[in-house]
Amino acid sequence: MTDANKVKQIIDIMARNGWRITEQRRTLAEIFVKNEGYLSPKDVYDQMTVDYPSVSFDTVYRNLRLLSEMGALEQFYFMDGGLKFRGSCTSHHHHHLICINCEKTLSFEYCPMDHKLELPGEFKIVNHRFEVYGICEECQADPAASS
Protein backbone atom coordinates (compact mmCIF):
# COMPACT_ATOMS: atom_id res chain seq x y z
CA MET A 1 0.00 0.00 0.00
CA THR A 2 1.40 3.40 -0.94
CA ASP A 3 1.93 6.18 1.60
CA ALA A 4 -0.84 8.20 -0.08
CA ASN A 5 -3.25 5.27 0.36
CA LYS A 6 -2.24 4.91 4.03
CA VAL A 7 -2.89 8.62 4.63
CA LYS A 8 -6.25 8.28 2.84
CA GLN A 9 -7.12 5.29 5.03
CA ILE A 10 -6.53 7.33 8.24
CA ILE A 11 -8.43 10.30 6.82
CA ASP A 12 -11.33 8.02 5.83
CA ILE A 13 -11.50 6.77 9.43
CA MET A 14 -11.60 10.38 10.66
CA ALA A 15 -14.39 11.24 8.19
CA ARG A 16 -16.45 8.15 9.09
CA ASN A 17 -16.30 9.32 12.70
CA GLY A 18 -17.63 12.76 11.82
CA TRP A 19 -14.36 14.69 11.89
CA ARG A 20 -13.90 17.65 9.60
CA ILE A 21 -10.71 17.03 7.63
CA THR A 22 -8.37 19.97 8.19
CA GLU A 23 -4.79 20.45 7.03
CA GLN A 24 -3.65 19.88 10.63
CA ARG A 25 -5.41 16.51 10.75
CA ARG A 26 -4.01 15.59 7.33
CA THR A 27 -0.53 16.45 8.67
CA LEU A 28 -1.18 14.28 11.72
CA ALA A 29 -2.02 11.33 9.44
CA GLU A 30 1.11 11.96 7.37
CA ILE A 31 3.31 11.94 10.48
CA PHE A 32 2.20 8.40 11.32
CA VAL A 33 2.57 7.18 7.76
CA LYS A 34 6.14 8.56 7.54
CA ASN A 35 7.17 7.02 10.89
CA GLU A 36 6.92 3.26 11.18
CA GLY A 37 7.88 3.15 14.85
CA TYR A 38 6.19 4.41 17.96
CA LEU A 39 5.77 8.09 18.67
CA SER A 40 5.14 9.66 22.03
CA PRO A 41 2.63 12.51 22.23
CA LYS A 42 5.66 14.85 22.63
CA ASP A 43 7.25 13.45 19.45
CA VAL A 44 4.03 14.16 17.52
CA TYR A 45 3.67 17.60 19.11
CA ASP A 46 7.24 18.50 18.14
CA GLN A 47 6.58 17.49 14.52
CA MET A 48 3.22 19.28 14.40
CA THR A 49 4.67 22.58 15.70
CA VAL A 50 7.03 22.76 12.71
CA ASP A 51 4.06 23.60 10.44
CA TYR A 52 1.59 24.74 13.12
CA PRO A 53 3.47 26.62 15.86
CA SER A 54 0.28 27.60 17.66
CA VAL A 55 -1.04 24.04 18.10
CA SER A 56 -1.32 23.08 21.76
CA PHE A 57 0.02 19.90 23.31
CA ASP A 58 -3.45 19.21 24.72
CA THR A 59 -4.99 19.33 21.24
CA VAL A 60 -2.38 16.92 19.86
CA TYR A 61 -2.82 14.55 22.81
CA ARG A 62 -6.63 14.62 22.57
CA ASN A 63 -6.48 13.88 18.82
CA LEU A 64 -4.10 10.96 19.41
CA ARG A 65 -6.43 9.41 21.99
CA LEU A 66 -9.48 9.87 19.74
CA LEU A 67 -7.66 8.43 16.72
CA SER A 68 -6.72 5.45 18.85
CA GLU A 69 -10.35 4.96 19.93
CA MET A 70 -11.39 5.12 16.24
CA GLY A 71 -8.88 2.42 15.31
CA ALA A 72 -6.63 4.65 13.17
CA LEU A 73 -3.78 4.43 15.69
CA GLU A 74 -2.61 1.73 18.07
CA GLN A 75 -1.45 2.81 21.50
CA PHE A 76 1.04 1.03 23.70
CA TYR A 77 2.36 1.76 27.14
CA PHE A 78 6.10 1.24 27.55
CA MET A 79 7.41 1.02 31.11
CA ASP A 80 10.32 3.38 30.40
CA GLY A 81 8.85 5.40 27.55
CA GLY A 82 5.25 5.89 28.64
CA LEU A 83 2.33 6.03 26.25
CA LYS A 84 3.22 5.85 22.56
CA PHE A 85 1.25 5.57 19.33
CA ARG A 86 1.71 4.18 15.84
CA GLY A 87 -0.44 3.73 12.78
CA SER A 88 -2.79 0.74 12.89
CA CYS A 89 -2.59 -2.13 10.50
CA THR A 90 -6.17 -2.52 9.35
CA SER A 91 -5.58 -5.12 6.63
CA HIS A 92 -5.89 -8.16 8.92
CA HIS A 93 -6.27 -9.17 12.56
CA HIS A 94 -3.00 -9.83 14.35
CA HIS A 95 -1.18 -9.22 17.61
CA HIS A 96 2.28 -7.98 18.56
CA LEU A 97 5.57 -9.00 20.10
CA ILE A 98 7.27 -5.81 21.33
CA CYS A 99 10.94 -5.49 22.27
CA ILE A 100 11.36 -3.52 25.51
CA ASN A 101 14.87 -2.42 24.47
CA CYS A 102 14.51 -1.13 20.91
CA GLU A 103 10.67 -1.09 20.58
CA LYS A 104 10.88 -3.25 17.46
CA THR A 105 7.48 -4.81 16.88
CA LEU A 106 6.78 -8.13 15.24
CA SER A 107 3.32 -9.21 14.19
CA PHE A 108 2.18 -12.71 14.96
CA GLU A 109 -1.01 -14.46 13.98
CA TYR A 110 -1.86 -16.30 17.21
CA CYS A 111 -4.98 -14.94 18.87
CA PRO A 112 -6.02 -16.20 22.30
CA MET A 113 -9.58 -15.09 21.54
CA ASP A 114 -9.86 -17.86 18.93
CA HIS A 115 -10.06 -20.37 21.80
CA LYS A 116 -13.13 -21.07 23.91
CA LEU A 117 -13.28 -18.72 26.87
CA GLU A 118 -15.26 -19.30 30.04
CA LEU A 119 -16.41 -15.74 30.77
CA PRO A 120 -18.46 -14.89 33.83
CA GLY A 121 -22.09 -13.91 33.39
CA GLU A 122 -23.25 -12.54 30.07
CA PHE A 123 -20.06 -10.59 29.40
CA LYS A 124 -19.87 -9.59 25.73
CA ILE A 125 -16.44 -8.82 24.25
CA VAL A 126 -16.47 -5.97 21.74
CA ASN A 127 -12.73 -5.53 21.20
CA HIS A 128 -9.42 -6.86 22.44
CA ARG A 129 -5.67 -6.38 22.24
CA PHE A 130 -2.90 -8.85 22.92
CA GLU A 131 0.71 -7.73 23.28
CA VAL A 132 3.70 -9.69 24.47
CA TYR A 133 6.72 -7.75 25.72
CA GLY A 134 10.21 -9.19 25.66
CA ILE A 135 13.65 -8.80 24.11
CA CYS A 136 14.12 -9.30 20.37
CA GLU A 137 16.79 -11.51 18.87
CA GLU A 138 19.05 -8.59 17.89
CA CYS A 139 18.98 -7.06 21.39
CA GLN A 140 19.69 -10.45 22.96
CA ALA A 141 22.78 -10.79 20.74
CA ASP A 142 24.03 -7.27 21.60
CA PRO A 143 25.58 -7.23 25.11
CA ALA A 144 25.40 -3.40 25.19
CA ALA A 145 21.63 -3.45 24.63
CA SER A 146 20.90 -5.59 27.66
CA SER A 147 22.67 -3.35 30.15
> Which residues carry a binding-site annotation for Fe cation?
93, 128
DSSP state of 92: S
Please tell me the distance from the alpha carbon of residue 104 to that of residue 33, in angstroms, as a whole number. Answer: 16
Closest Cα partner for 32 from 91, 89, 79, 83? 89
Closest Cα partner for 78 from 96, 58, 53, 92? 96
Annotated binding site: 93, 99, 102, 128, 136, 139
Phi, psi of 73 (to 5 degrees): -125, 150
Annotated binding site for Zn(2+): 99, 102, 136, 139
DSSP state of 127: -
Beta bridge partners of 105: 98
